[in-house]
Amino acid sequence: MARYFNKLAFLPADTDQARQAAEALAGLYGDHPADEAEAVIALGGDGHMLHVLHRFMSTGVPIYGMNRGTVGFLMNHYREKGLHERIAAAVENVVRPLSMTAIDEDGRSHVALAINEVSIFRQSYQAARLRISIDGRVRLEELVCDGVMVATPTGSTAYNLSAQGPIIPMDAPLLALTPVSPFRPRRWRGALLPNRQTVEIEAIEPGKRPVNAVADAHEVKSVRRITIRESLTESGVILFDRDHSWDERILTEQFRY
């Protein structure tokens, strides 16, 4: 039986288009404080959706996005009419973020969550040299590259796809390990990993070839070692229209040419 959400909160991105949409929708449906809402309506683009998902992580409050930004892959189409009915009929998807622990050059530990991906990038003009281990076993002794990322199914259609990584269905228990501009080994194009596995990435020559780690929008400078795994405790809820579901978007994206 469809759940009906009476108390809605409208959270716009910091743009005129998003703010005007929030004002129009609040006039039609009312606008409740976010901490009292039964569902949150995110108005903006994919970056704003990630921000809202982080804010409401593990609260159980579902997030329904409407595109008032640019790409909007995580968003539904913007329409003002029938919003209660659309949300009630929407498909619910559970998002499980990655947990990143990064150790910097001073030995300090930094912990952050990533809904899309954890990325490691070269900090200077020199290529990064990285050692990659899976569940404590070295799988790639040396990767010379601009960077490497671990992407969730949610993030597989974002930066991961731009780096020629695979698209992963939302409910697939997989993570994508994808290099960015690999120089050596030239033919290594990454790996698909079970989401229960832990990835450890170690910087080789961190003084000469410094690297940064980024978990969504959270960046850590000059890291020596990064540990990444799917969080066992955190989750978020995102809603998609049935006629524009995540599965449909994944299929459409894979047949673009």
Residues 234 and 100 sit within 8 Å (Cβ to Cβ): no
Q: Per the structure block, which two tokens stand in for 242?
A: 């049935």
Euclidean distance between CA atoms 161 and 164, whole angstroms: 5
Q: Residues 14, 46, 106, 216: which is the catalytic one?
A: 46
Residues 216 and 54 sit within 8 Å (Cβ to Cβ): yes
Backbone angles phi, psi at 25, to 5 degrees: -70, -40
Q: Residue 187: count other Cβ atoms within 10 Å of its Cβ.
A: 6
Q: Residue 205: count other Cβ atoms within 10 Å of its Cβ.
A: 11
Closest-CA residue to 118 (of 43, 54, 206, 177): 177
Euclidean distance between CA atoms 154 and 99, whole angstroms: 14
β-partners of residue 44 are 67
Before 185, cis peptide (omega within 30)?
A: yes
Residue 35 annotated to the active site: no
Active site amino acids:
46
